[in-house]
């Protein structure tokens, strides 16, 4: 396992608007691309060559394996393990080990997505 790293050390980002709850306990490997308005929980491992699209959420303790693509407005639940080279499509919520789609985002969830991310950040900081 690689040592912890700030996202700016090994990742590409089209925005500085990606939020990583606890950078000291989150591992981002080389070639990770984070787009705008991404939330990554604490103790997450994201392996090589992963793309996380705009407005995505990755829950605490998740593992995103190499080559995975998360399309915009997708979510991976806490504790989930996403298999190598998976495609998490827009508006999908994935969870489990090995994770799979458990449901689709509801229209209201998508329209309030930015608010939901802000609430997650505030809640996470209270319990970090």
Locate the domains of the chain by residue range. Answer: 7-127
pLDDT band for position 76 (50/70/90)? very high
DSSP three-state, residue 39: strand
What pTM did the predictor assign?
0.79
DSSP three-state, residue 102: strand
Q: Is 115 a residue whose pLDDT tops 90?
A: no
DSSP three-state, residue 110: helix
Nearest to 70 by CA among 120, 124, 18, 127: 18
How would you classify residue 73: left for phi > 0, otherwise alpha for psi between -120 and 50, otherwise beta?
A: left
CATH of domain 7-127: 2.160.10.10
| pLDDT given for residue 80 in this prediction | 94
What mean pLDDT value characterizes the chain?
81
Q: Is 14 a residue whose pLDDT tops 70?
A: no
């Amino acid at each position: 396992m690689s040592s912890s790293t700030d996202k700016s050390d090994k990742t590409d980002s089209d925005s500085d608007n990606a939020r990583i709850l606890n950078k000291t306990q989150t591992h981002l490997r080389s070639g990770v691309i984070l787009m705008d308005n991404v939330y990554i929980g604490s103790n997450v491992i994201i392996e090589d060559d992963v793309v996380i699209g705009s407005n995505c959420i990755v829950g605490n303790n998740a593992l995103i394996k190499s080559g995975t693509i998360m399309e915009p407005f997708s979510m991976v639940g806490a504790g989930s393990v996403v298999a190598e080279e998976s495609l998490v499509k827009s508006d999908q919520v994935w969870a489990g080990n090995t994770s799979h789609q458990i449901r689709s985002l509801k229209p209201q969830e998508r329209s309030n997505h930015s608010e939901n991310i802000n609430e997650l950040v505030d809640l996470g900081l209270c319990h970090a």
